[in-house]
Amino acid sequence: MKENSTNKNNEEIDLGDLFRLLKKGFEKLGNLLLRFIAFLLRNAIVLIILIIIGAVAGYFLQKKSSNLVKTEMIVASDFGSAEYLFKSVKELQYKLKIKDEATIEKLELKDSNTALSLDVKPIIDLDKLTREEETYFEVLNESNFLDEEAKQGLIRKISNFYKITLYHANDIDSRRILNSIINIIRDNDYFKKVYELNLHKIKFLINSNEYLISQMDSLLANYSENLSDNKQLNSSSLYNINNTLDLGVMIGNRADLVEELDNLYSKKVANEELFRLVDLGYPSAVEKKGIGSYKIILIPFLLVLAYFGLIIFVKVVQKARKIDK
């Protein structure tokens, strides 16, 4: 009985301590809230001025950014030229940023202060990837062993089309500038030679496949005629009574050649020149994403936050000096 009463008393004491702790916690929280409100009242004028300055600055910056539009073009890339494309776009972006005179002259920009920005991204069409490439792409996206830059570098290798985006003011001829940009990037003797030789190879393979398909069609037509006339092939023919034409193998080989020929036609169209232009678009609106797009709210918030940080820093320095004394 004594043990039960003792346990009951301990539980009552523990609950009492808990309620007292909670009460103290709420009191401290209330004091902090009151001190914060008092701080706001003491610094109300400064905070209002900062909010007004930030809102005005954010308004003009947001208005300026809203005048920016984008123009996109799609180019074809092959034979290992994707890395060169990304490197060239990155270099051009830097030259535009520092207002390089030679680049501005090549682009025929009337105003050297024209704000331009470039970006390039690979276009991945999963429907046109082989099964091995699709598996490779899925494993690559799920991999935790590579950083984003390494992943992007590997993704470039399985893409044949790339989107180059120009961000610009809405009052300039962006299509002409993009044409000038792609001509600057194409100025590479090595890849010009690579594309020239590979185009010659593609043309040769197309002619060979077309010839083989026509020969197969002739053999199939002749074989069908001889079979329908119920005649034996004579000694000058490729086939005799003991060596009949395997129609299944012949048709299968022809289908493979037709599929290969279709791919060669696509390669010929895309690779007639370095970074063949697939599509040159027209200016369109820039999609606003993220909190950075709302500068009229973000800049006042950052100014107020900086002011709070400055006050905390001053207080810490003052306390450190007192301790040092």
Average pLDDT over every residue of 225-244? 50
Model pTM score:
0.61
Higher pLDDT, 257 or 10: 257
pLDDT number for residue 71: 92
Q: 318 to each of 32, 36, 297, 304, 313, how far by Cα in Å?
A: 21, 20, 32, 21, 9
Q: H-type helices in 98-188, by residue range? A: 101-106, 131-142, 148-156, 174-186
At 166-214, the pLDDT tens digits run: 998 887 888 999 999 999 999 999 999 999 999 999 999 999 999 998 9
Average pLDDT over every residue of 152-156? 63
Q: What is the mean pLDDT of the chain?
A: 77
pLDDT bin (cut points 50, 70, 90) of residue 313 is confident
pLDDT number for residue 193: 92
At 7-17, the pLDDT tens digits run: 444 545 566 66
Q: What b/e string do you get for 248-285 counting C-beta neighbours within 10 Å, with b at 16 or more?
A: eeeeeebeebeeebeebeebeebbeebbbebebbebee
At 259-293, the pLDDT tens digits run: 888 888 888 888 888 999 999 988 888 776 555 45
